[in-house]
Amino acid sequence: MIQQMIRRLFGKKDRLSQPVHKKKQPTPVEKAKHHIDPQLISKNAIKVTKTLQDAGYLAYIVGGAVRDLLLGITPKDFDVATNATPDQVHQLFKRSRIIGKRFQIVHVTFYSSSSTTQRQEIIEVSTFRALLEESGEHIAQSGRILRDNVWGSQAEDAARRDFTINAMYYDPASERVLDYHHGMADIKNKLLRMIGDPTQRYREDPVRMLRVVRFAAKTQFEIEPKSLEPIASLAHLIHDVPSARLFDEMLKLLVSGHAWSSLCTLRDVGLDQGLLPMLDAILEKDSQTSFAKLALDRTDQRVQEGKTISPGFLFAALLWEQVYTEWQLLMQTGKPIVLALHQAIDLVLANQREVFAIQRRFETDMHEIWSLQPRFEKRIGKMPYRLIEAPRFRAGFDFLCLRCEAKQLPMELAQWWEKFQITTPDEQAELLLQVKNESPVNLSSNANKSRRRRRRGPKHQASDEKLLDVEQSP
Q: What is the pLDDT of residue 277?
A: 59
- CA 320 vs. chain centroid, Å, equals 18
Q: At what angle do helices 311-332 and 243-254 cross, to 10 degrees?
A: 100
What's the whole-number mean pLDDT along residues 334-347?
94
- In this prediction, residue 305 carries a pLDDT of 85
List pLDDT tens digits, range 116-166. 677 899 999 999 998 765 434 444 555 454 455 678 899 999 998 999 999
Instruction: Please identify which of the residues 77, 171, 268, 469 carries the catalytic annotation.
Output: 77
Choosing from 79, 179, 186, 365, the catalytic residue is 79
pLDDT class of 474 with cuts at 50, 70, 90: very low
79 is catalytic: yes
- 96-100, 169-173, 249-253 — which is least confidently predicted? 249-253
Indicate the pTM of the whole model.
0.73
Asked whether the predicted pLDDT for residue 60 surpasses 90, the reply is yes
> What is residue 163's predicted lDDT score, i.e. its pLDDT?
94
pLDDT in tens, 197-229: 999 999 988 999 999 998 898 888 999 999 999
Return the percentage of the chain with pLDDT > 90, whole number: 54
Report the 3 state secondary structure along the chain.
CHHHHHHHHHCCCCHHHCHHHHHCCCEEECHHHHCCCHHHCCHHHHHHHHHHHHCCCCEEEECHHHHHHHCCCCCCCCEEEECCCHHHHHHHCCCEEEECCCCCEEEEEEEEECCCCEEEEEEEEEECECCCCCCCCCECCCCCECCCCCECCHHHHHHHCCEHHHCEEEECCCCEEEECCCHHHHHHCCEECECCCHHHHHHHCCHHHHHHHHHHHHHCCEECHHHHCCHHHHHHHHHHCCHHHHHHHHHHHHCCCCHHHHHHHHHHHCCCCCCCHHHHHHHHCHHHHHHHHHHHHHHHHHHHCCCCCCHHHHHHHHHHHHHHHHHHHHHHCCCCHHHHHHHHHHHHHHHHHCCCCCCHHHHHHHHHHHHHHHHHCCCCCCHHHHHCCCCCHHHHHHHHHHHHHCCCCCHHHHHHHHHHCCCCHHHHHHHHHHHHHCCCCCCCCCCCCCCCCCCCCHHHHHHHHHHHCCCCCC
Instruction: Share the mean pLDDT of the chain.
Output: 83
54, with CB counted inside 10 A (0-12, 13-18, 19+), is: exposed
**Percentage of the chain with pLDDT > 70?**
79
8 Å CB contact between 342 and 331: no
User: In terms of pLDDT, which residue wins out, 117 or 259?
Assistant: 259
Domain with CATH 3.30.460.10 in the chain: 14-195
**Higher pLDDT among residues 339 and 4, named by residue:** 339
pLDDT attached to residue 54: 97
Band (pLDDT 50/70/90 cuts) for residue 22 is low
Q: Output Rg (C-alpha) for the chain, integer angstroms.
A: 27
pLDDT number for residue 452 = 41
CA–CA dist 374, 469 (Å, integer): 10
Q: Which of 314, 290, 288 is nearest to 301 (CA)?
A: 314
> Comparing C-alpha atoms, which of 120, 111, 53, 101 is closest to residue 80?
53
Q: What is the pLDDT of residues 348-369, one digit of tens each?
A: 998 888 767 788 999 999 999 9
> Which pLDDT score, from 0 to 100, does residue 438 have?
72
* Alpha-carbon dihedral angle through residues 272, 277, 283, 287, given to the nearest 10 degrees: 180
In a 10 Å sphere around its CB, with 0-12 CB exposed, 13-18 middle and 19+ buried, how is residue 319 labelled?
buried
Given a contact cutoff of 8 angstroms between Cβ atoms, the answer to whether 262 and 256 are in contact is yes
**Which of 140, 37, 130, 128 lies closest to 85 in space, CA to CA?**
128
Confidence tier at 289 by pLDDT (50, 70, 90): low
> Which carries the bigger pLDDT value, residue 247 or residue 331?
331
Phi-psi region of 70 (alpha: psi -120 to 50; beta: other; left: phi over 0): alpha
The pLDDT of residue 248 is 87
Q: Left (φ > 0), alpha (ψ -120 to 50) or beta: where does 100 sit? A: left
Catalytic residue among 68, 157, 162, 179: 162
**Residue range 260-265: average pLDDT?**
85
pLDDT at residue 439, rounded to an integer: 57
Given this model, what pLDDT does residue 137 score? 43
Q: At what angle do helices 259-269 and 207-219 cross, to 10 degrees?
A: 130
pLDDT tens-place string over residues 431-465: 999 888 775 555 565 544 444 444 444 444 444 44
pLDDT at 2 over 70: no
CATH 3.30.460.10 for domain 14-195, yes or no, is yes
CA separation (Å) from 131 to 22, 93, 142, 360? Answer: 9, 28, 17, 36
| Mean pLDDT across 164-184 | 96
Give the count of beta carbons closer than 10 Å to the beta carbon of residue 201.
21
Q: What is the CATH number of domain 311-468?
A: 1.10.3090.10
pLDDT of residue 28: 95
- Give me the mean pLDDT over the 96-114 stretch: 87
- Per-residue pLDDT of 376-405, as tens digits, reads 998 988 999 999 999 999 999 999 999 999
Q: Is 179 assigned a catalytic role?
A: no
The answer to whether residue 272 is catalytic is no
The stretch 18-45 carries a mean pLDDT of: 84
Q: For residue 461, how many other CB atoms are within 10 A of its CB?
A: 13
| Statement: residue 178 has pLDDT above 70 | yes
| pLDDT (0 to 100) of residue 272 | 72
- 337, with CB counted inside 10 A (0-12, 13-18, 19+), is buried
> At 5, is the pLDDT very low, low, confident or very high (cuts 50, 70, 90)?
very low
- In the sheet that holds 79-82, the strands lie side by side as 27-29, 176-179, 168-171, 59-62, 79-82, 118-127, 105-113, 96-99
Are 369 and 313 in contact by the 8 Å Cβ rule? The answer is yes
Is residue 149 packed enough to be buried (19+ CB in 10 Å), middle (13-18) or exposed (0-12)?
A: middle
**Confidence bin at 92 (pLDDT 50/70/90):** very high
Q: Is the pLDDT of residue 472 over 90?
A: no
Range list for CATH 1.10.3090.10 in the chain: 311-468
